[in-house]
């Protein structure tokens, strides 16, 4: 198995069985720069996986979740606060889920802005001709 020597961050979310992650731990044998972020709701599983070096990250309140989402997606959340609050409620205030949603929303907002800008430039050229 070849995975190279570049640093790798492997995120395994909602792990419920240590056997589900055992294969991924082997990647560290091939790449010493491989790091893991593992989430689980089982404290005993977290302790087994991390050799008692786990820590709990509590759910965010609705206000904290909105603040995080606003920080991550400032180009879309201010205009869509009701929808943002619904997203935070749906994921139960889980910080990783909010972070992933925020990164996706901002990426989409930026992509849509680039598309609109290109269309505006095309219209300007057509009017000038």
Residue 57, pLDDT > 80, answer yes
Q: What confidence tens digit (pLDDT) does each residue in 35-50 have?
A: 888 888 888 888 888 8
Which residue do the tokens 């989402």 mark? 69
Q: DSSP secondary structure string, 4-57?
A: -SS-EEEEE-S---THHHHHHHTHHHH-TTEEEEE--S-HHHHHHHHTS-----
State the pTM of this model. 0.61
Structure tokens at 83: 């929808």
Do residues 93 and 62 make contact, with C-beta atoms less than 8 angstroms apart? yes
């Amino acid at each position: 198995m070849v995975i190279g020597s570049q640093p790798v961050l492997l995120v395994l979310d909602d792990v419920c069985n240590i056997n589900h992650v055992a294969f991924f731990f082997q990647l560290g044998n091939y790449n010493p720069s491989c790091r893991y972020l593992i989430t689980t709701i089982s404290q005993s599983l977290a302790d087994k996986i991390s050799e008692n070096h786990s820590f709990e990250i509590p759910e965010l309140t609705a206000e904290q979740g909105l603040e995080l989402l606003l920080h991550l997606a400032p180009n879309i959340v201010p205009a869509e606060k009701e929808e943002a609050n619904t997203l935070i409620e749906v994921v139960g205030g889980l910080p990783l889920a909010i972070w992933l949603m925020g990164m996706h929303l901002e990426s989409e907002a930026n992509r849509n802005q680039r598309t609109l800008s290109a269309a505006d430039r095309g219209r300007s050229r057509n009017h000038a001709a």
